[in-house]
Amino acid sequence: MKCSQMISNKGNSIANQFLIYANNGVYFQSYNSIIALKQNDGTIVLSEKYWDYSKTTSKYRNIFLGETSDQTKYQIKIGNYKLQKLN
């Protein structure tokens, strides 16, 4: 595993926002909570408890997924994203 801080568009490290590279994919962690997992096969798994925890978490989750909160909600609704216990 490898862990790194997320980097802003300006090239600065973003405090408390991390990417964890594992054998099964890339995790997004905000503060001490795993928020999302992009699996190697393209499957997206979101934390059932923390995926929409706060405005800050949502902002960086959106960057990680490359979409808006409304798009994420739609992907959950139609079953493309799984909600699971990640913490």
pLDDT digits (tens, 9 = 90+) for 35-83: 999 999 999 999 999 999 999 999 999 999 999 999 999 999 999 999 9
pLDDT digit string, tens, across residues 10-39: 999 999 999 999 999 999 999 999 999 999
Please tell me the distance from the alpha carbon of residue 16 to that of residue 27, in angstroms, as a whole number.
Answer: 14
> According to DSSP H, which parts of the chain are helical?
55-65, 69-77
Report yes or no: 31 and 25 within 8 Å, Cβ to Cβ: no
Name every residue whose Cβ is closer than 8 Å to that of residue 29 and which is 6 or more positions away in sequence.
17, 18, 19, 20, 35
For residue 9, pLDDT beyond 90: no
pTM passes above 0.85 = yes
Please tell me the distance from the alpha carbon of residue 45 to that of residue 42, in angstroms, as a whole number.
Answer: 10
Give pLDDT, residue 23: 97
Q: Taking the domains of the chain in order of start, what are their residue ranges?
A: 2-84
